[in-house]
Amino acid sequence: MPDVEMKDITMRWGNVIAAEDVNLKIQDGEYVTILGPSGCGKTTLVRIIAGILKQTKGGVYIDGKNMADVPTEERDIGYVFQNIALFPHLDVMENVSYGPRVRDVKKPEWERISHKYLELVKLLDKMKMFPSELCGGEQQKVSLARALSTGARLLLLDEPLSALDARVRVDLRYELRRLVKSLGLTTLHVTHDQEEAMSVSDRIVLMRSGRIVESDTPETMYMRPKSIFAAYFIGETNLLEGSIKKTDAAATTVELRDGTLIEVATTDFREGDPVVISVRPEYVYPAVAGIHAIVSSVTFVGTHFRIVAVADSDDKVEFDVPATVEREYNKGDDVNLTIDKRSAIVYARTPGELGEATKLE
C-alpha cells in the first residue's frame, strides 16, 4: 500500500524555478489535490513523482523507497493526462489492455482485467470503438480505466477534467472520487479549479510560484484560510483594508480607511496594527446601518443577484441578494452593509502586499 513522500524537491529550468524545497507527504489511501494558479509548478510535481521529469534536487519516496534510479515504467503508477492521450491507433479495448500486456500478462487474464475496468467506468459496450469516435467525457473515462488496469495503487491525475465541458466535468468529478475511494487508491490530483479541488479531495495542497502555501482539509481551507492568498484563491472574498482601533477579550474593532468601525471576533493584533479583513460575499448582508457603499453593478446570476458596491473607504464589496427579495437594486443606489463577525478573518497587512497576494499568475 503506497504512501508518497517528497523531500526538499527543487526543480529549475535554467533560471526559472518551477518548484522550490517542496516537502509533501501523502498517506496511504488519501485523496490529495494540488491546487494553484497556472504556472505555479503543480504539474511539475506530479511529473516528478511519475519520473517523467527529473528533479534538480531532493528525493521522491514511494512506499518508503527512493525512486532516484527507478524509471517511469517501474514506478507502478497510474497516470491520467490533461490532454487524455488515448492511443489514437488502438481501440478502447486495446488501450485499456495496454498496461497488462506490456507487463507480460497473458491473454485470458488481460481480457478479464480490461473488462473489469471498462465495466467499472460503464463503457464495456464501446470497447471496439476508437478514441476519435468517443466524446470527451467517455475518452477521459477510458483513459482512467487504462490507468487503473495496470493494478497501480497510486493514481496521479494531471488536470484530468480541464479539457472537458462544464457539465461533464462536474459529473465526472463525483464519479472519480467514488471510483478511487471504492478501490482504496492513493490519489494525487492536480487542478487549477478550486471548486473541483474542494469537492473531490480529503486534503488540499495550495501552491504558488513553486512553493506550497498551505495544506488542509477543504472545509478548513475555506472557512479558516491561513493566508490572504488562500482566502482569495479558494472561493470568493472581499478584502477590506484598515487598522486595529481597539481589541479586548470580547471583540476586536477595525477602523477602515474612511473611519468606519467594524467589529470582528477577537484577535491577537495590537492597537494600531495595519490589517486586512477577509469576508466572503455570503457573509455580507444589506442592513439599515453599517458600511456605507454605492452600488456599482448588479448582475443576475439565476439563483440570486450579485451586487458589487464601492464603500466610502474605497474598498470593493460584493454580496448576494436572493432573486425574490422585495427591494430592487440599481446602479448608483446607496446601501448599508454589515458582515458576519465570526466569519470574517483578519490578516496582517504589509504595504503593497495586498496586490501581491491577489495576483494570480
List contacts with another protein (CB under 8 A): 50, 52, 71-74, 76-79, 81, 83, 85, 87-90, 94, 98-99, 101-104, 146-147, 150, 156
DSSP notation for 251-290? EEEEEETTS-EEEEE--S--TT-EEEEEE-GGGEEEESSS
Toward another protein, which CB reaches closer, 89 or 327? Answer: 89
Q: Which SS3 state, helix, strand or coil, does residue 249 take?
A: coil
* Minimum separation from the CB atom of position 254 to another protein (A): 51
* Minimum separation from the CB atom of position 75 to another protein (A): 8
* Minimum separation from the CB atom of position 143 to another protein (A): 8
Hey, what's the cell of 65?
Answer: 523507497
For the beta carbon of residue 130, count every other beta carbon within 10 angstroms: 16
Q: CA-based angle 115:119:125, to the nearest 5? A: 85
Toward another protein, which CB reaches closer, 30 or 76? Answer: 76
Residue 12 to residue 23: CA distance in whole angstroms? 16
With 0-12 CB in 10 A as exposed, 13-18 as middle and 19+ as buried, what is 85?
middle
Sheet holding 291-300, edge to edge: 284-287, 334-339, 291-300, 304-311, 316-322
Toward another protein, which CB reaches closer, 90 or 354? Answer: 90
Toward another protein, which CB reaches closer, 74 or 219? Answer: 74
* Minimum separation from the CB atom of position 339 to another protein (A): 47
* Minimum separation from the CB atom of position 264 to another protein (A): 49
CB contact at 8 A, 188 and 155: yes
Look at the chain and count its residues: 361
With 0-12 CB in 10 A as exposed, 13-18 as middle and 19+ as buried, what is 118?
buried
Toward another protein, which CB reaches closer, 6 or 317? Answer: 6
Hey, what's the cell of 241?
Answer: 483594508
Residue 217 to residue 33: CA distance in whole angstroms? 10
Toward another protein, which CB reaches closer, 16 or 348? Answer: 16
* Minimum separation from the CB atom of position 356 to another protein (A): 34
Toward another protein, which CB reaches closer, 79 or 233? Answer: 79
For the beta carbon of residue 175, count every other beta carbon within 10 angstroms: 17
Hey, what's the cell of 345?
Answer: 478573518
Toward another protein, which CB reaches closer, 18 or 335? Answer: 18
Toward another protein, which CB reaches closer, 89 or 167? Answer: 89
* Minimum separation from the CB atom of position 157 to another protein (A): 12
Hey, what's the cell of 204?
Answer: 488540499
Residue 36 to residue 299: CA distance in whole angstroms? 27
Q: Where do we find the cell 500478462?
A: 105
* Minimum separation from the CB atom of position 151 to another protein (A): 9
* Minimum separation from the CB atom of position 147 to another protein (A): 7
